[in-house]
Amino acid sequence: MLNKKWTIVDAGFVRGVTAPDELPPPALAEVAFAGRSNVGKSSLLNALLGRTNLVRTGRAPGTTRQLNVFTAKAADGLELLLVDLPGYGYAAVPKAMKREWQDFLWDYVTTRSTLIGLVVVVDARHGLKSLDEDLLSGFLPSGRPVLILATKSDKLNVAERRAAAAGIRRRIDLRFGEQATAVAVQAFSASSRAGVEAADAELDGWLPRA
């Protein structure tokens, strides 16, 4: 049976962060969401939060260079932070700017002490890209869990959806060996809400509870 504790009863925007010293003090547990620009990350966050537009969707690719922090309260009263990382891989961004924001992202995922797990959003039709794998290679040595959500799966039929998730799984196992056991893969759709409950159940298992 699926664990329902994760169900978010309240969520709100805390702040946009453009430099490490603007991050909230490391107190509450954090779950970060990463993915390539325009992959569907904002829509996915709204679907998980049960809100229509708390996280602004449809922004021009590459315009979000800040890390957006949201607070979320689970049904059992547990408070946590959800951190929407800037989308990466947008080609039209000048190189220097790209490097600066990728350094910031990298520092955050590799050193943030309160980060309990990472959600990597990929397009179900395209699977893992090299930047996704780079990010995973920085995060997996921490031993913390990762959930890969293959979104826009409504654009695939059932067989294709299954093949997409299996292909990502194979790639992860091949590339990351033993560290791959910390990674779960799930097909998702913000449009049809397919995969929302399974993602909730996975994330619930990450939460620190007495």
Which DSSP category does 36 fall into?
Answer: B
- Of 7, 57, 66, 71, the one binding ligand GDP by CB under 6 A: 57
Helix-helix angle 158-176:130-139, to 10 degrees: 50
CA dist 117 and 97 (Å) reads 26
DSSP 94: -
In the complex with ligand GDP, the residue whose CB is nearer, 64 or 179, is 64
Interface segment toward ligand GDP; rule CB under 6 A; list 38-46, 100-108, 161-169, 200-208: 38-46
Position 142 contacts ligand GDP (CB under 6 A):
no
CB 32 within 8 A of CB 85: yes
**Segment interacting with ligand GDP, rule: CB under 6 A, options 17-25, 98-106, 111-119, 146-154:** 146-154
Give the separation between CA 45 and CA 57, rounded to whole angstroms. 10
x/- map, 75-94, ligand GDP, by CB under 6 A: ------------x-------
**Could you say whether residue 135 binds ligand GDP (CB under 6 A)?**
no
> Which residues, listed in sequence order, are joined to residue 98 by a DSSP beta bridge?
none
Angle at 143 (CA atoms; ends 137, 147), nearest 5 degrees: 70
The CB-of-209 to ligand GDP minimum distance in angstroms stands at 30
In the stretch 4-33, what mask flags binding to ligand GDP with x, by CB under 6 A?
Answer: ------------------------------
Q: Which stretch binds ligand GDP (CB under 6 A): 10-18, 88-96, 99-107, 151-159?
A: 151-159
- 32: part of which helix (H) or strand (E)? strand 30-35
Report which DSSP code applies to 103: H
Taking CB under 6 A as the criterion, which residues in 168-207 touch ligand GDP? 189-191
Burial of 6 (0-12, 13-18, 19+ CB in 10 A): buried
Instruction: Tell which one of 11, 39, 85, 120 touches ligand GDP (CB under 6 A).
Output: 39
Q: Please name the residue that has the structure tokens 């397009």.
A: 123
155 lies in the binding site for ligand GDP (CB under 6 A): yes
Site of interaction with ligand GDP (CB under 6 A): 35, 37-43, 57-58, 87, 151-152, 154-155, 189-191
